[in-house]
Amino acid sequence: MSDSIPVTVVSGNLGAGKTTLLNHLLETADRRLAVLVNDMGEVNVDASLLERRLPSEGIAELSNGCICCELRDDLATAVRGLADGYEFDHLVVESSGISEPAPVARLFTAGDAAARFEVASLVTVVDSAVLAETLSGETLERETPPDATDRPLADLLIEQIEVSNLVLLNKCDLLEDSELEHLEAIVFGLQPDAAVVRTTYSEIDPDRLFAARFDPDALGELAGWQRALEGGGGHGGHADHDPGGHADHASHDHRSPETVYGVESHVLRRRRPLDPARFADFLRDLEVVRAKGVCWLAGRDELAIYASLAGRSVSAVGEGPWIASLPRSRRELYRENHPDLPWDDDYGDRRTELVCLGTDLDGAALEDAIDACLLEDGESAGGEDPFPTEQGERAVLRA
């Protein structure tokens, strides 16, 4: 760690215990803390709760918006003001319940903030009961974010875990030990590098929390589903293409040190377009903890679709153009700069690579199910097409 001020970003679903954690740290930590609190409401309730334990000049408040999107510029101004007006050893950022940790952390890796601060760790506080509900497929009706139709709570909760290096399973007194062991195994499958600590009222030894260290160079690149994609198989990360235009099934069970307590992954790789209606049904019927990956849908030869399943929620986003659809000069330049890009002489980078994480996965059944979604030669797509049609567009297939 350099002379820069270390930053701990605290994320978690609404009501998980983030502010309780901050109060605990302010009471027990042997270092001088400053706090930046983000609240989606017009009045920053969390900040007002902290003021009795910290001077007002040590608290920065950002209200009525999310720091990972609308309030990015305001965050930069706020942390600069803290550094100029208050002397402290460590900054703790409490992001709102619907914030994504990775964009918040990246705000401290560039510009003026990077010159003064350095991301030390990403901590996610999880309401253990809510996580258990999410993984069991139950509908989360309480404390749902305002834009739930655009971003299901379950999807955000899982992504908050995937980018963390420390996860607090809070309110663990509400669950049995066997349930907590199962949750710990799932968290390990989602993020193998994260330390997991059971807490009640977010009470953790501050030294243990501040000792956690995060690699900013690996931000957002170490999730379990990404490791499964990179885990190999004998096909160099893509499916073989035979002369008849049919792809071999280049898929595998990824069994490695990441496979523990029955949590495993299975990667589905195909080089033929998927029928949108059948694929939507496939995702809605999929019973896994997590599924995510790039997909090639019929009618989307120019747009890559990222599908995401987290517990019960299923969503998809238009990620960007297939490189194969770009003008030749741009396509060749991109391939020169990305030599590891999976490429097929006929299809280019168009492909489906979907990772499924769960317990007791039936790989053969998954293979058969995805095959049933493939378009046959001469077949046209039909039926419902709920997927995005433009880059950046998000669609919720099941909330």
pLDDT tops 80 at residue 330? yes
- Both 160 and 301 in one domain: the answer is no
Beta-strand ranges (E) seen in the chain are: 5-12, 33-39, 59-63, 90-94, 117-127, 166-170, 195-198, 252-254, 263-270, 290-295, 303-310, 313-321, 352-359, 394-398
Q: pLDDT-based confidence at 258, cuts 50/70/90?
A: very low
d(CA 48, CA 241): 61
Tell me which residue range forms the domain holding 121.
Answer: 5-218
Q: pLDDT-based confidence at 239, cuts 50/70/90?
A: very low
Question: How confident is the model at residue 14, as a pLDDT?
Answer: 78
* Mean pLDDT calculated for residue range 37-55: 56
The burial class, CB within 10 Å (0-12 / 13-18 / 19+), for 307 is buried
Using DSSP bridges, classify how beta strands 352-359 and 290-295 pair: parallel, antiparallel or unpaired: antiparallel
One-letter identity of residue 203: E
CATH assignment at residue 236: 3.30.1220.10
Instruction: Please tell me the pTM assigned to this model.
Output: 0.75
d(CA 136, CA 223): 21
- Both 161 and 288 in one domain: the answer is no
User: Helix or strand or coil: residue 186?
Assistant: helix
Which of 290, 323, 326 is closest to 304 using CA atoms?
323
Question: How confident is the model at residue 49, as a pLDDT?
Answer: 55
**Which stretch of 151-165, 298-312, 346-360 has the lowest confidence by average pLDDT?**
151-165
The total number of structural domains in the chain stands at 2
- Both 214 and 86 in one domain: the answer is yes
Q: pLDDT-based confidence at 246, cuts 50/70/90?
A: very low
State the average pLDDT for the chain: 79
- Both 248 and 126 in one domain: the answer is no
Q: Give the chain's largest Cα–Cα span.
A: 72
151 versus 232: the higher-pLDDT residue is 151
367 versus 246: the higher-pLDDT residue is 367
Question: How confident is the model at residue 79, as a pLDDT?
Answer: 77
- Both 285 and 250 in one domain: the answer is yes
Evaluated on CA atoms 355, 361, 367, 373, the torsion sign reads negative
- Both 381 and 271 in one domain: the answer is yes
CATH assignment at residue 60: 3.40.50.300
Strands across the sheet containing 290-295: 252-254, 263-270, 352-359, 290-295, 303-310, 313-321, 394-398
d(CA 134, CA 226): 21
144 versus 311: the higher-pLDDT residue is 311
- Both 110 and 231 in one domain: the answer is no
Are 6 and 190 in contact by the 8 Å Cβ rule? The answer is no
pLDDT tops 80 at residue 60? no
Question: How confident is the model at residue 138, as a pLDDT?
Answer: 54
Question: How confident is the model at residue 98, as a pLDDT?
Answer: 62
Tokens of 152: 């299901």
- Both 214 and 281 in one domain: the answer is no
